[in-house]
Structure 1
Amino acid sequence: MNWKTRIAGGLLLACAVVAVPAFAGSLPDHEEFDATLQVPFRSAGARPVTMHFSYPGATPGTQVAWEVALLGHDGSELRAWQGHSALGTGSTQAKVLWDGLGRNGQAVPSGYVTVRLRAVALDGATVARIGSGLPGQALTLAQQRAPELVEEQRYDVLVGAVAAPVMPHFQALRQHNGTTTALSPMSATSTGGLPYTIYFGNLHSQTNHSDGGGVLSTCVGAQNPQSGAYGPSDAYQYALNDGLDILMTSEHNHMYDGSTGTNTSASPTTAHNLYQSGLQAASTFNAAHANFLAIYGLEWGVISNGGHLNIFNTPSLLEWEYNSSNQLIGDVFTAKSDYGSLYALMKANGWVGQFNHPASTGQFNIGGTDLAYSADGDTVMALAEVLNSSAFSTNTTETETSRTSYEAAFNILLARGFHVAPSSDQDNHCANWGASYTNRTGVLIPSGTALSLASFLDAVRARRTYATEDKTGQIVLTANGHVMGERFGNSGPLTLAVNYASSAGHTAQRVQVFEGVPGGNGAVTATSSTATTTITPANGDHFYYAKVTQEDGKQLWSAPVWVTQGAGGGDTTPPTVSASESGTSGTITLSASASDNVGVTRVEFYVDNALVATDTATPYTATLDSTTLGNGTHSLVAKAYDAAGNVGTSSTVSFSVSNSTGVDTTPPTVSASESGNSGTITLSANASDNVGVTKVEFYVDNALKATSTAAPYQATLDSTTLANGSHNLVAKAYDAAGNIGTSSTVSFSISNGGTAAELVKNNSFENGTTPWTQTSGVITNASGEAAHTGSYKAWLDGYGSAHTDYVRQQITIPATATKATLDFYMHIDTAETTTSTAYDKLSAQVITSAGKYVTLATWSNLNAASGYVEHAVDLSAYIGQTIQINFYGVEDSSNQTSFVIDDVSVKAQ
Structure 2
Amino acid sequence: MRAVSIITVFAFCIICMPDSSYATTVDHHEFEAWLEAPFHAGADGTRTLTLHFSTPDAQPGGTLRWRLDLLAPNGRVLRTWRRTQPQEAPELDVAIRWHAPPALRQGIYRLRLRARAGDSPAVEQDWSVAVGALPAAPAASPQAADPVEASPYTVYLGNLHSQTNHSDGGGALDHCTGAQAPQSAALGPADAYAYARQHGLDFLMTSEHNHMYDGSDGTNSDADPAAATALYRSGLQAADEWNRNHPGFLAIYGQEWGVINHGGHLNILNSGELLGWERNARGELLADTESPRNDYAALYRLMRERGWVGQFNHPQGDQFAIGGKPLAWNADGDQAMLLCEVMNSNAFSARTDEAEPRLSTYEAACNQLLEAGYHLAFSSDQDNHCANWGASYSNRTGVLVERGAALDSDSLLAALRARRVFATMDKNSRLIFTANGHMMGERFVNRGRLTLRASYLSQGGRRAAAITVFHGVPGRNGAVATLGSKARTVLTPAAGEHFYYVRVTQDDGKMLWSAPIWVSQQPRNRALRKIELR
Q: Could you state the TM-score of these two structures normalised by the residue count of structure 1?
A: 0.53
Q: State the shift of 1:547 in Å.
A: 0.6
Match of 1:80 in 2: 81
Counterparts of 1:223 and 1:61, CA distance in 2 = 32
* Mapped partners of 1:82, 1:113: distance in 2: 22
Following superposition, the deviation at residue 548 of structure 1 comes to 0.4
Q: Which amino acid aligns with 2:259?
A: V
Aligned match of 2:441: 485
Tell me the equivalent position of 1:525: 481
Distance 1:549 1:170, change over 3 A: farther
Give distance in 2, aligned partners of 1:351 and 1:94: 44
Task: Measure, in 2, the Cα distance between the counterparts of 1:278 and 1:87.
Answer: 43
Query: Higher helix fraction: Structure 1 or Structure 2?
Result: 2
Q: Please give the residue correspondences for 1:372-411 in structure 2 after superposition, counting only pairs within 5 Å.
A: 372-411=328-367
Q: 1:71 to 1:171 in 2, by over 3 A?
A: closer
Question: Across the two proteins, how many residue pairs are aligned to each other?
Answer: 500
Q: 1:265 to 1:391 in 2, by over 3 A?
A: same
Q: Note closer, same or farther for the CA distance 1:365–1:202 as it changes in structure 2 (3 Å cut).
A: same
Report the Cα offset of residue 41 of structure 1.
Answer: 1.7
Give CA-to-partner distance per residue, 1:304-360, whole Å, 9 cap, x none: 100000000001110100001111001000000000010010011100100000002
1:194 equivalent among 151, 156, 159: 151
Q: Which residue of 1 aligns with 2:110?
A: 114
Deviation at 1:74, TM superposition (A): 4.7
- What one-letter code is carried by the residue in structure 1 that aligns with 2:426? D
Which one of 105, 130, 136 corresponds to residue 163 of structure 1? 136
How far residue 76 of structure 1 moved from its aligned partner, in angstroms, is: 2.5
Q: Distance in 2 between matches of 1:249 and 1:58?
A: 33
Partner of 2:303: 346
Letter paired with 1:52 = H
Between the aligned partners of 1:287 and 1:56, the Cα distance in structure 2 is: 45
1:380-404: CA deviation from partner (whole Å, max 9, x where unpaired): 1000000001111111111111111
C-alpha contact 1:510 1:550 (8 A) present in aligned 2 = yes
Q: What secondary structure does 1:377 align onto?
A: helix
- From 35, 38, 46, the equivalent of 1:37 is 35
Q: Which amino acid aligns with 2:190?
A: S
- Per-residue CA deviation, residues 255-281 of structure 1 (Å, 9 max, x unaligned), is 101111111110001101110111111
1:827-857, Cα deviation, whole Å (9 max, x unpaired): xxxxxxxxxxxxxxxxxxxxxxxxxxxxxxx
**2:319 alignment counterpart:** 363
1:473 to 423, 429, 433: 429
Which amino acid in 2 is paired with 1:507? R
- The residue correspondences of 1:243-254 to structure 2 (distance < 5 A) are 243-254=200-211
Match of 1:337 in 2: 294
User: Given the superposition, is the C-alpha separation of residues 349 and 522 from structure 1 closer, same or farther in structure 2, using an over 3 Å criterion?
Assistant: same
Are the structure 2 counterparts of residues 61 and 520 from structure 1 closer, same or farther at C-alpha, using a change threshold of 3 Å?
closer
Percent identity over the alignment is 53
> What residue is the counterpart of 1:780 in the other structure?
none
Q: Match for 1:225 among 172, 182, 201?
A: 182
Q: CA deviation at 1:83?
A: 7.0
Residue 164 of structure 1 deviates from its aligned partner by: 2.5
Q: Residue type of the partner of 2:296?
A: Y
C-alpha RMSD of the superposition: 2.2
1:36 to partner: Cα distance: 1.9
Residue 205 in structure 1 maps to residue 206 in structure 2: no
Assess, with a 3 A threshold, how the Cα gap between structure 1 residues 173 and 261 changes in structure 2: closer, same or farther.
farther
Q: Which residue in 2 is equivalent to 1:66?
A: 66
**How much has 1:87 moved relative to structure 2?**
7.7
2: CA distance, partners of 1:54 / 1:280? 40
Instruction: Return the letter of the residue paired with 2:494.
Output: A
What amino acid sits opposite 2:76 in the alignment?
G
Question: Is the counterpart of residue 153 in structure 1 residue 129 in structure 2?
Answer: no
Q: 1:541 aligns with which of 482, 485, 497?
A: 497
Counterpart check, 1:47 vs 2:47: yes
Counterpart-to-counterpart distance in 2, 1:452 and 1:386: 24
Contact 2:171 2:387 in 1 (8 A): yes
Q: Please give the alpha-carbon distance, in whole angstroms, between the structure 2 residues aligned to 1:415 and 1:374.
A: 13
CA distance in 2, matches of 1:196, 1:25: 44
Q: Note the 1:660-679 alignment, pairs <5 A.
A: none
SS in structure 2 at match of 1:358: coil
- Residue 127 of structure 2 aligns with an amino acid whose one-letter code is Y
Alpha-carbon offset, residue 107 of structure 1: 4.9
> Match for residue 251 of structure 2?
294
- Where structure 1 has 5 or more consecutive residues not aligned to the other structure, the ranges are 1-23, 130-147, 175-179, 181-192, 571-909
Q: 1:442-591 alignment to 2 at 5 Å? A: 442-568=398-524
Equivalences for 1:832-843 in 2 at 5 Å?
none
More displaced stretch, 53-62 vs 339-348: 53-62
- Which amino acid counterpart does residue 76 of structure 1 have in structure 2? V
Relative contact order (alpha carbons < 8 A, sep ≥ 6): 1 or 2 greater? 2
Question: Alignment partner for residue 440 of structure 1, among 396, 404, 416?
Answer: 396
Take 1:549 and 1:419, find their aligned partners in 2: how far apart are those partners? Answer: 23
Letter in 2 for 1:287: R
Query: Counterpart in 1 of 2:532?
Result: none
Letter of the structure 1 residue corresponding to residue 298 of structure 2: S
Distance 2:107 2:257 in 1: 42
Question: Cα offset for 1:109?
Answer: 3.2
CA gap of 1:292–1:284, structure 2 versus 1, over 3 A, is same
Asked if the contact 1:68/1:82 (under 8 Å) is kept, the reply is no
* CA deviation after TM superposition for structure 1 residue 54, in Å: 3.9
Q: Give, in whole Å, the separation in 1 of the partners of 2:468 and 2:303.
A: 34
Q: Is the 8 A contact 2:108 2:466 kept in 1?
A: no
Asked if 1:240 is matched to 2:197, the reply is: yes
Residue 313 (structure 1) aligned with residue 276 (structure 2):
no
Question: Retained in 2: the 8 A contact 1:170–1:500?
Answer: no
Letter matched to residue 407 of structure 1 = E
Deviation digits for residues 35-63 of structure 1 (CA, Å, limit 9, x no counterpart): 22221222243212123334455579977
Contact residue 444 and residue 465 of structure 1 kept, 8 A: yes
Q: Give the residue type in structure 2 aligned to 1:158.
A: A
Output the CA distance in 2 between the equivalents of 1:240 and 1:559.
Answer: 25
Q: 1:291 to 1:171 in 2, by over 3 A?
A: farther
For the Cα contact (< 8 Å) 2:504–2:512, is it kept in 1?
yes
Q: Which amino acid aligns with 2:170?
A: G
1:74 and 1:352, CA in 2 relative to 1: closer, same or farther beyond 3 A? closer
Larger Rg: 1
Residue from 371, 381, 387 that aligns with 1:415 = 371
The Cα of 1:110 is off from its aligned counterpart by 2.4
Residue 473 of structure 1 deviates from its aligned partner by 0.5
Task: Tell me the distance in 2 between the aligned counterparts of 1:417 and 1:294.
Answer: 31
TM-score (norm 2): 0.89
Partners of 1:433 and 1:555 lie apart in 2 by: 21
Which is strand-richer, 1 or 2? 1
Distance apart, 1:194 and its partner CA: 1.3
Q: Check the 8 A contact 1:203/1:441 in 2, yes or no.
A: yes
| Aligned partner letter, 1:228 | A
Report the CA distance between 1:569 and its aligned residue: 6.6
Equivalent runs, 1:776-787 vs 2, <5 Å = none
- Give the Cα–Cα distance (whole angstroms) in 2 for the partners of residues 112 and 371 of structure 1: 30
